[in-house]
Amino acid sequence: MVLGRLTHYAFDAVLISAFLAGIRRSTGLTPSIKADTFKDQPTIQKAIENYLWVGEWSMDMGVAVFSNSPWFERKR
């Protein structure tokens, strides 16, 4: 039960991160993570950067899988 809940929260976190990556890719908007904001806690800044990187990675993997699938086609 606890493992299922933890998995659910982790999946939700990756979805939110991928959503933020999609916003960044389509509009250029990104969360403001300035070094002076986190000067007292650099580990928090690194954790946020890693979290956003997971969204970028999952989005890249999704695009790679979907582009090789016959169920999806690219329209320009």
* pLDDT category of residue 44 using cuts at 50, 70 and 90: confident
pTM attached to this predicted model: 0.76
**Taking the domains of the chain in order of start, what are their residue ranges?**
2-67
Question: Would you state the structure tokens that stand for residue 60, as one six-digit string?
Answer: 């890249």
Q: What are all long-range contacts of 45-54, with beta carbons under 8 Å and residues at least 24 apart?
A: 51/13, 51/17, 52/17, 52/20, 52/21, 54/14, 54/17
Residues 6+ apart with CB under 8 A from 13: 51
13 vs 24: CA distance, rounded Å: 17
pLDDT for 19: 93
Region 10-16 average pLDDT: 94
